[in-house]
A and B are shown apart, each in its own frame.
Chain A
C-alpha cells in the first residue's frame, strides 16, 4: 500500500519498515483530511499545474505536471547531509550532531516539531475557501501550490515524529490531523492560525508576513543539533521561498494596480470607486499581519528559547554569520514594559533568542516593503507603505499589555478602542474587499481589476497559460 513510487522520497522508505507501518495508518487519514479540510470545490474535477518535489536536486524539485489535488504526490525529503557536521551553537557547540533524539531532549524536540507541524495544515484550512474568489487562474494555481507544499511540510514533520518519537510521535501525528483551524473543540495550537483567511489581500499578507515567520522558524531549526530536523527544515526552506514570493509579488501587483487606478483617477480616495484597493487599506493589512506575525515569534524574554538554544535544538537564523556561538556572557538590549512604561533593558542573550530572531524577521520584511515603495515612486506618488512599530497591536509578549499607534506612541485603552480602525482593517474594509472578490476569475490570462498581472508566468509558461483545467 505504501509505495516509494506514490510517495517520492530520499529516506529509503522502501527499506524502512517502521516508517511504512506508521504511514499505512497515517497516509489514508491525511488524504481524508485533505479532502475534508483542503481547498473546497477543487478536488475532483480540476487539474492544477503544480510543481512536485521528486528529488532534492535542482531538476527534481522543479518537476511540473497537471494533477488533481488529492492525487498530489506528497513526498519526504531531507536536504543532503553535510559530512561531519557539528553542532553550531549552545552548550554542545562543536560536538557531532545527533542522528537520534537524545532521551533528555525528546520532549522539547517533540514540542518544537509539533508546534511547527501544526501551522502547516492550519494554513491550508484557513485558506480553503479562497479558490472561489480567485483573481486569476495564475493566482489560484499559486494558492494551491502553496497549499500542497504546506501539506508536504506537514509530511516532513510527521516523518520526524514517526521516525524518532515512537508511539508518542504516532499519537502526535494523528493529533495534527485532528486539530482544525477555528474548531472550538480542537483548535490549532497557535491562536493566529484559527482565523479564516477569506480575502486575497489577507492571503498575500499571510504568505508575505506569516510564511516569513515560518521562514524564521525554519531557519533557526535548520541549525538544529538534531540532524534529521536540520536537514528536513533546510529542504522546506526552498519551498517556503516560493510562498513568500507569492505574497510579496501578490501585494506588489496590487500596489501596482492601485497606482494605475490612482493615476487614472488622480486621487487615491477614488481607488475604491474604480474597484481597486486603496493604499490605506493595504497599509492597514500590513499593520495587522505584521503585528500578528511578530507575535508568532514568542515572548521577548523566554526561558524556553534559552533552553532550546542551550541544548542546540533551535538556533538563530544564519547562525554561521554570528561570531560567538555559545552565547554565555552576551547580553541583548530590548524594550520591556514596566509599570505601563517602555524601557530598555539588557537581558542574557540566550533568553532573548526570540527577539533576536524577530530582528532578523523585521529586516527581511522591510526589504519587501522597500520594493513596493519603489513602485509607488516609479508612478510618481509620494505615499509610502511601511511596517508599523514593533509595539503596535501585540497580543503576546511585553507589549501585549499596552496599546500604541503604528509609530509606537502609547495610547489609553479608550483612545485605542476609538481609533484602532484607523490602523487596522475594519468590518467595513473587509466587506469592501469581499465585494470586489465575489466574482472569481476563471478565464485564462484574465485578472481581477484590483491586481496587475505578474511579470511572467510559472515555469516559463505564458501568463495566459491554462494553469487550472477542468475535466468534466
Chain B
C-alpha cells in the first residue's frame, strides 16, 4: 500500500468507516427529536503522533467521526429533527483545527483535511436544507477558528454569556493563514455580517463575545450560564417542530462496508478499484444491480443499507475518500460501469417515484453528495464506455462528472448510454446546476433535447448529442484510451488540478463553490507562502519561542 501523505503520517492507510460505539472524540446521545453531538476530543488520540489535541482541537480523525455521526443520524434516526452541536468540556467549545497537526502536515494532507471538513460542514447544511434536519450550535465556551466554522455550518448559534466566551477567527492575526472551512465566506454570505465588521472580526485573535456578537450577527443569541442548557433545549425543540422528518423510526442501519483492501485493489460488493501503479492510474468499476431493486418504501426500509443505490454509492464514497488520502500518486481514475442498464433505470424510477419518502430522499441526497465528492476530487476522471457497461441515469452522472468520456463505436457490438429523469437536476453540482446544464452551458436548449430522448443513445448519437467526448472505433479504441491515460499521467498534477477545477464548475457561483474556490485559490496559496510556513513564518513559529517575521511586500 502506498504511504499516506502526511509528515504527521498515519501508520496504516486511513479508513473513513467509523461507528458510534467506538467514537473517541464525540458522544452522540438521543432524546426524542433532539440528538446531541458532544465534542470531547481525546488529547492523545490524534491520527498521528507528534501533536496533542488540546482544548477540543481537531484533526481529520475527529472530523471523520463527526461526518459519520451526521450520516448516521440522517439514516438511522429519522425521528431526530434537531442536532445540538456542543462540547462536553467546561468552558471550551472547540479551539479549531489543531495547529501543530497543520504545521506537521504536508501540503496535500492539509488540502485533503480542509476538503473533507468542508464537505462535512456542507453536509450539515445539506441536511438542513433538504432533509428537515436542523443544527443548533450550543457554544458553551471558547469557540475559535474551526470551532466557530463548525458553528457557522449550523442553522443557529447560541453562545454562552459568561463575560469570557467569545467566537473568533484568529487565523489571520495569529497564524498568518485563513480559516480553512469557509469561515470568512459564511460570515458574510450566510450570516450576512457587514463586511467592515467582518474585517474587524477577522483580525482580532480574541474574537467577539456577548451582546456585540449578537448585534453583529456572529451568533443568534447569548444566554447566561444559569439559563444556557434550558435555552438550548427549548430552541432545539422549536427547531425540531419545523421538521418534516417522521416522528418515529425505524431507521436504516449503516453496516460496515466490508471492503477488501489490498495493494492492488479495493473490492466492494458493487464497486471495485484496480490500480495500475506504473501508469499512476486506477480503474473504478461500478456494477448495476443484479436484480430489480425493491419497489416500495416498506421494501426499501426492509432492504436497508442493501438497497442497491445506497449500497453502491456508499461504496463509491468510501473508495473516493480512500483514494484521496491514501493514493496520492494515482492521478487518473478511469470510470467504468458494468451490468444491465435497464436495472439502473428501474432503480432510478423507484427513487423518483418515492422521492418524498424520508429514506428515499436521504438516498438521493447521499448520491448527490457522493457525486459532488467526485467533482471536488483533485484527480483526473475519464469515463470509458464499453459494451456491457451500464452508464444509464444515475450512473451516467459519473460519465458527466468525468473530465472526458470515451465511448467505443463498434458496429459489431451494442454500446449505449441512457438518460433518465435523475439527470434532470435532482443531483446538482456544488454550483447548483445539473451536470447536463454544466455540460451544455453554451447550448442550454440541448439539455431538454437530450432529456426528451427516451431511447438509448448509440455511440454515434451520443457523440452527436455532445454526451461523450470521443467515440473511437474498434480499431483506434485501445490506443486512444491508453494514450489519453498515459498523456494525462505525464502532466503536472498541480496544473491539472487547477485546470480541472476551473473547467468543472462552469456557470453560477454558490456559497459552496465560493468556499471551495477560495480555499483553493487563497488558503492553499497562503499555506505555501513563507509568511506562513517559511522558517520564520507564523505557522512555523506558533507555539515555539520564536516570533514570526513577515516579508511585508504585497502582491
Contact = CB atoms under 8 A, between A and B. Distances in A.
A111 B206 contact: yes
B339 to A, nearest CB: 53
Given A107-B205, A179-B163, A189-B164, A184 B226 contact: yes
Interface in A356-372: none
A186 B163 contact: yes
Interface string A321-333: 0000001100000
B545 A309 contact: yes
A348 B544 contact: yes
Given A107-B205, A185-B226, A350 B545 contact: yes
A110 B173 CA distance: 15
Nearest to B161: A185
Contacts of A350: 544-545
A351 B545 contact: yes
Contacts of B161: 185-186
Given A107-B204, A107-B205, A111-B206, A306 B225 contact: no
Nearest to B228: A185
A306 B544 contact: yes
A401 to B, nearest CB: 9
Nearest to B212: A171
A309 B226 CA distance: 38
Contacts of B544: 303, 306, 348, 350-351
A307 interface: yes
A187 interface: yes
Contacts of A254: none
A91 B547 CA distance: 8
A111 B545 CA distance: 19
A307 B542 CA distance: 9
B162 interface: yes
A178 interface: yes
A339 to B, nearest CB: 9
Interface in B519-555: 542-547
Contacts of B546: 310
B163 A178 contact: yes
B224 interface: yes
Nearest to B162: A186
A111 B173 CA distance: 15
A187 B204 CA distance: 23
Interface in A300-329: 303, 306-307, 309-311, 327-328
A24 interface: no
A383 interface: no
A350 B541 CA distance: 13
A306 B224 contact: no
Contact of B162 (A185, A327, A348): A185
A303 B175 CA distance: 13
Contacts of A407: none
Contact of A306 (B163, B173, B226, B545): B545
A176 to B, nearest CB: 9
A175 interface: yes
B162 A307 contact: no
A306 B543 CA distance: 8
B61 to A, nearest CB: 20
Contacts of A179: 163-164
Interface in A389-448: none
Contact of B206 (A107, A187, A189, A327): A107
Interface in A102-135: 107, 110-111
Given A185-B224, A185-B226, A175 B545 contact: no
A185 B229 CA distance: 12
A309 B204 CA distance: 21
Contacts of B545: 306-307, 309-310, 327-328, 348-351
A91 B162 CA distance: 35
A307 B547 contact: yes
Interface string B218-231: 00000011100000
Given A310-B545, A327-B545, A175 B206 contact: no
A444 to B, nearest CB: 42
A305 B546 CA distance: 12
B447 to A, nearest CB: 53
Interface string A187-205: 1010000000000000000
B163 A175 contact: yes
Contact of B547 (A178, A189, A311, A351): A311
B470 to A, nearest CB: 56
A185 B547 contact: no
Contacts of A306: 543-545
B543 A303 contact: yes
A185 to B, nearest CB: 4
A398 to B, nearest CB: 12
B353 to A, nearest CB: 54
A247 B206 CA distance: 36
Nearest to B99: A303
A201 B163 CA distance: 31
Contacts of B547: 91, 307, 310-311
Interface in B105-163: 161-163
Nearest to B549: A91
A327 B224 CA distance: 43
A186 B206 CA distance: 18
B200 to A, nearest CB: 11
Contacts of A310: 545-547
A435 to B, nearest CB: 32
B378 to A, nearest CB: 33
B117 to A, nearest CB: 23
A350 B547 CA distance: 11
A303 B206 CA distance: 16
B542 A303 contact: yes
A185 B543 CA distance: 32
A470 B445 CA distance: 96
Interface string A80-116: 0000000000010000000000000001001100000
Contact of B225 (A91, A184, A309, A328): A184
A111 B174 CA distance: 14
B450 to A, nearest CB: 58
A26 B229 CA distance: 32
A309 B545 CA distance: 8
A367 B162 CA distance: 39
A311 B549 CA distance: 13
B174 to A, nearest CB: 9
A107 B208 CA distance: 12
Nearest to B174: A107
B479 to A, nearest CB: 59
A339 B545 CA distance: 26
Interface in B252-295: none
A184 B224 CA distance: 8
Interface string B168-188: 000001000000000000000
A404 B410 CA distance: 80
Nearest to A311: B547
Nearest to A168: B204
A361 B50 CA distance: 32
Contacts of A328: 545
A185 B225 contact: yes
A187 B543 contact: no
Nearest to A179: B163
A349 B173 CA distance: 25
Nearest to B207: A107
Contacts of B224: 184-186
Interface string A439-471: 000000000000000000000000000000000
Of listed A110, A307, A348, A351, residue having the most chain B CB within 10 A: A307
A148 B224 CA distance: 30
8 contacts: A107-B173, A111-B206, A184-B225, A185-B162, A186-B224, A303-B544, A309-B545, A351-B545
7 tightest A-B CB contacts, nearest first:
A350-B545, A185-B224, A303-B543, A306-B545, A186-B163, A185-B225, A348-B545
Given A185-B161, A186-B161, 4 more contacts: A184-B224, A185-B225, A303-B544, A310-B545
Interface of B: 161-164, 173, 204-206, 224-226, 542-547
